[in-house]
Structure 1
């Protein structure tokens, strides 16, 4: 087997060969090493004026800091990059037919571009100039999951494949598969920069402490499952979250050294996070558990098809009726035969297409993990279709009333509440209003993630039975006094509704103000009446409800506060992070 120095010598020799004027591969860029924003190495092809063929950034001394496995990957990538380029799509004869990146020439459907998109998605342009001549970098990506292309221009790849990044464009990036030379679009959440921190299975960028606990406590993870995430309190530092025995998760702060190293315990520093992980996978050394495998998660949802906003009605196949609401039915449907979606079919006359489209454009721009994703619309003809992501367990109200829902412990009920507060905080930050927040308008995923749906729809409903206070469809029991009496809807009236939603959750879907009519509720509230504490409700949670029902809207809490207090409902008096081992 080659030694580390032997491999370095081979790489340097290959560079010299490439620099030779008679070299067959003359003009191809050479891999260089760049330090990425995550303080880890990623690979780039970097030509320079002094070395038009490219050079190793940092020189051979810097290269020697690479570990053996990194060098093996580096060498294989170099070889995979040179060979395909001799027959790359870009260098084929102009008469050769390659993979089409645009839609089929004869299409029976018409797609209207997403008006909220700030990115122009087009067929990837094949530059007549080589990136080396333009002084550009070509960055190597690592595939994190398998992906089978389903849209025109998609690139199919497998986990572990290497790709050259051509262009970052929102949710869909243009890339070239190194092993075949094929070019196309790839979902950006399915790839990461090669050899970056994001490419490590145990690194979860941007994940909060509470979300880490949700993920690690899912049934697929066992004791010793772990993740490393960014610290929420110390910029530039990290946290190690480990599932302990039982339903507990322990958190450890990973601090940085001045020279770039990392440590949990000051007595055991490490030059890199991968070495820290390898150490604690081999021994407990003060942690609650020996690290086993990275946290197992559900494969992320693929981004919605590029530019598909107002889509043809015939592209949807309604398969199963999921429920019936006041203004239409909800169906499970297949989009173009390959993507499961939920379709809300609005009753004819329930809203103006023009007013709905205006509101939908704003709704589409609100994208958050706790909001049901609005994918597309059908407004040509009636009924109007609203196409959203599909949530397997349906509405929170129906779930709570089901056998599975009624078996959920208090800790899960509080977690539902915290997740909804998180989504409403995002809406609050965007100066938006929901207007109809209740359990029926929240949906539950297969992994018990809760998302808010139908935000904004209440504003464009034209049904008098819904818009009038006396109407039978008006959700008066969830509506604040100022909104019911004067039509004054604000984020603070949403806070009132959230307090009522908490009673639905804690009583497993009981209708608020049981035994009282809408008019009786309004009269009682105006006299200062408030719903009594449900028998199964902790007094601390009831205290939060009463804060939400303050007569003065300005005295009601913010959703930021509600999220914080609900996330820490059981841990407010506990130490969140473990002492150094």
Structure 2
């Protein structure tokens, strides 16, 4: 039994896990150990604890904070604190402030390294079907107060600053938020730290396209010499040759999962099921990122009972308080590779042992540019194959570069864009790299019309993808995964201080694996005012615009959040036109008065509540994209 750290008699409020559960307050004997917070019945006459009534595993705790007293509460309920974990808040009442402070301090020390710590919390109670602090009526709603110290790990919201890329300032855009009016959100997690001199392994092969590039051969080792460009590192191979390599083609030679072909990074549940079904092997398996950041899932294909169709099962890799990994109780391992090796020989509670490794590493990821230092592309190196469509800026064609790279080519019609400003900005935009953004490869500016050359995604725009039913009978999980992709791409843009200003399903593309990527980010700021009309037929996309844009043309990352809510609505209506019975004038008049889109049939109340949070009248009350990432990840994790 774990050694007791603290124990005390407290009043515990019932958690009301069911709507019909009565609210009550009972004395319980609380015991804090190294791995659990437990509470027991207590015999006052014999001063002895009795049967266990419940417990919370410390590794599942997301926040420990005080709670403001309820109005007219009795003296014995004046010193409340809350323990927030997967099942919601556990409310505990101490006898005095000193005891409460001691327990909060010790709990924070124990959970400060938990992976799922939250950034915002509710300072008041959940009561009568709403949060008393912010009146939100969804119990799972993200908190309304930013933590000044993240459960023992200090970060000062007031002193935090967003990273700004060192670049020429963008053309001025009126921001809705004024500096200092509210704390900035914490930044997204940084990529794992790397250092000059480290050894890396090539995850993909790379053929040099400039004299400065270095060839990569899959699974061979390289030494990093220079990292001044985040996307292109200077490296040396085993023969002494030096040159630049795409940083996302190599992985640290340490213990990272990227070394193993069974690990499929950035793959969601639906993509895993499709890949396993394509392989169609009983016991086929892969390991992927879970929908919750920092966690992993083993997906296994089985043909139980001899069925030829088969189906997939998914097992979350769990961790103990000591950092060991397991899929089934009593089978603990010090590393995930050790766990996989064991289950390749033993089913141990799973539907099948892991018989056949399935991988998605045939197709390498996009690089930031087509080679180190390339941003101006020779149009003679481009070959157009077919027309993809005709957009705001001109014709878009599918083609190849140097006969080996599939690309999309936007041919900008003259007079539609402020070309000089865009060309200067394109050098910076090329350095933006994220798996949920369409990669800008370069531009052709030496002739007219100028070309914008980007990554090509074979499944086209998300709007068409939805309307044509390329995903047959989509599940709630599949639709939410599409939304998650967009959220993560937009969270990255938000962290880089980019405002999209025209986020919609038509401006997202879908790749061969079903991954959704945001495109045309930032382009609208270079559109000439006397030429620009959005696809909705106005000076800006009215059907995707919040009140502050409709009334004052104030764009900000929070106006992008509103548009994201409309995009979610597009996804859950399979591509319907927002406010389809109203014209632009009626929309511009009624949205500032409170008009909102109805709940789609495919969206449950929790999905619709996320949309409604994006459509708050006040921009300050809308979540950031980083907060939306957490909300959507948590919901996906529950659904899976």
TM range (shorter): 0.5 to 0.7
- When normalised by structure 2's length, the TM-score is 0.59
User: What corresponds to 2:157 in structure 1?
Assistant: none
* 1:415 CA drift (Å): 1.5
1:520 alignment partner, SS class: helix
Partner of 1:284: 347
Aligned residue number for residue 119 of structure 2: none
Say whether 1:167 aligns with 2:225. Answer: yes
Q: 2:430 aligns with which of 347, 350, 364?
A: 364
Pairs within 5 Å for 1:421-432: 421-432=487-498
Distance of 1:404 and 1:151 partners within structure 2: 39
- Map of 2:517 onto structure 1: 451
Q: CA deviation at 1:443?
A: 0.6
Q: Secondary structure of the residue that 1:286 maps to in structure 2?
A: coil
Distance of 1:166 and 1:542 partners within structure 2: 47
Give the CA deviation at 1:436: 0.4
Q: Which residue number in structure 2 is paired with residue 201 of structure 1?
A: 260
CA distance in 1, matches of 2:633, 2:291: 17
Change (3 A) 1:167 1:203: farther
Secondary structure, counterpart of 1:355 in structure 2: helix
Q: Compared with structure 1, are the counterparts of its residues 271 and 461 closer, same or farther at alpha carbon in structure 2 (3 Å cutoff)?
A: closer
Give the structure 1 partner of residue 191 of structure 2: none
Gaps of 5+ in 2: 1-165, 169-195, 303-310
Q: Does 1:252 align with 2:252?
A: no
1:203–1:189 distance in 2 versus 1, CA, 3 Å? farther
Would you say 1:332 and 2:391 are equivalent positions?
Answer: no
CA drift at 1:400: 1.3
Cα 1:465–1:240 shift into 2, 3 Å: closer
How many Å apart are 1:504 and its aligned residue?
A: 1.6
Cα deviation, residue 421, structure 1: 1.5
Q: Shift of residue 267 of structure 1?
A: 4.7
Q: Distance in 2 between matches of 1:194 and 1:271?
A: 18
Where in structure 2 are the equivalents of 1:37-186 lying within 5 Å?
A: 141-152=200-211, 154-156=213-215, 158-160=217-219, 162-165=220-223, 167-169=225-227, 170-175=230-235, 178=238, 184-186=243-245
Change (3 A) 1:436 1:271: closer
Question: What residue number does 1:243 align with?
Answer: 300
Matched residues in 2 for 1:292 and 1:488: separation? Answer: 56
The aligned counterpart of 2:607 is 541
Whole-angstrom CA distance in 2 between matches of 1:272 and 1:425: 31
Distance 1:175 1:569, change over 3 A: closer
Asked if the contact 1:228/1:241 (under 8 Å) is kept, the reply is yes
Are 1:296 and 2:352 matched, yes or no?
no
- Give the Å deviation of 1:477: 1.2
Asked if structure 1 preserves the Cα contact closer than 8 Å seen for 2:286 and 2:357, the reply is yes
Write 1 or 2 for the structure with the bigger share of strand: 2
How far does residue 225 in structure 1 lie from its aligned partner after superposition? 0.9
8 Å Cα contact 1:197/1:203 also seen in 2 = no
After superposition, the CA RMSD in angstroms is: 3.7
Counting only pairs closer than 5 Å after superposition, residues 464-483 of structure 1 correspond to structure 2 as 464-466=530-532, 472=538, 474-483=540-549
SS in structure 2 of the partner of residue 495 of structure 1: helix
8 Å contact from structure 1 (residues 346, 385) kept in 2: yes
Matches within 5 A, 1:318-329: 318-329=384-395
Change (3 A) 1:287 1:474: same
Farther off after superposition, 369-378 or 183-192: 183-192
CA 1:181–1:244: 2 relative to 1, 3 Å: same
Residues 393, 446 of structure 1: 8 Å contact kept: yes
Cα distance, 1:398 vs structure 2: 1.5
Residue 470 of structure 2: SS of its match in structure 1? helix
CA distance in 2, matches of 1:318, 1:525: 43
Counterparts of 1:543 and 1:232, CA distance in 2: 20
Alpha-carbon offset, residue 451 of structure 1: 0.6
Q: Which has the higher helix share?
A: 1
Output one character per residue of 1:343-377: Cα deviation in whole Å (capped at 9) or x when no partner: 11111011122221244344334321111111111
Deviations 1:88-133 (A, max 9, x none): xxxxxxxxxxxxxxxxxxxxxxxxxxx979xxxxxxxxxxxxxxxx
Counterpart-to-counterpart distance in 1, 2:253 and 2:637:
38
**Equivalent residue pairs, number:** 433
| Matching residue within 620, 623, 627 for 1:557 | 623
Q: Distance in 1 between matches of 2:635 and 2:399?
A: 38
Task: For 1:511-522, list aligned pairs within 5 A.
Answer: 511-522=577-588
* CA offsets 1:157-193 (integer angstroms, 9 cap, x no match): 6544x34426244444555554x77655544444445
Between stretches 165-174 and 539-548, larger displacement belongs to 165-174
**What is the CA–CA distance in structure 2 between the aligned matches of 1:307 and 1:328, rounded to whole Å?**
27
**Does the aligned pair in 2 maintain the 1:321–1:329 contact within 8 Å?**
yes
| 1:286-324 Cα deviation digits (max 9, x unpaired) | 345422344411432252311101223323222211111
Asked whether the 8 Å contact 1:225–1:291 carries over to 2, the reply is: yes
1:465 positional shift = 4.9
For 1:231 and 1:534, the matched residues in 2 are separated by 23
Equivalent-residue separation in structure 1 for 2:284 and 2:486 (angstroms): 29
> 3-state SS of the aligned residue for 2:630?
helix
Q: Counterpart of 2:503?
A: 437
Seen in structure 2, the aligned counterparts of structure 1 residues 569 and 231 have a Cα distance that, compared at 3 Å, is closer
Provide closer, same or farther for how the CA distance between residues 226 and 462 of structure 1 changes in structure 2, counting only shifts above 3 A: same
> Counterpart of 1:366 in 2: which secondary structure?
coil
Q: C-alpha offsets along residues 6-47 of structure 1, whole Å, 9 cap, x if unaligned? A: xxxxxxxxxxxxxxxxxxxxxxxxxxxxxxxxxxxxxxxxxx
Query: Does structure 2 conserve the Cα–Cα contact (< 8 Å) formed by 1:250 and 1:288?
Result: no
Tell me whether 1:388 sits opposite 2:454 in the alignment.
yes
Matched residues in 1 for 2:635 and 2:532: separation? 36
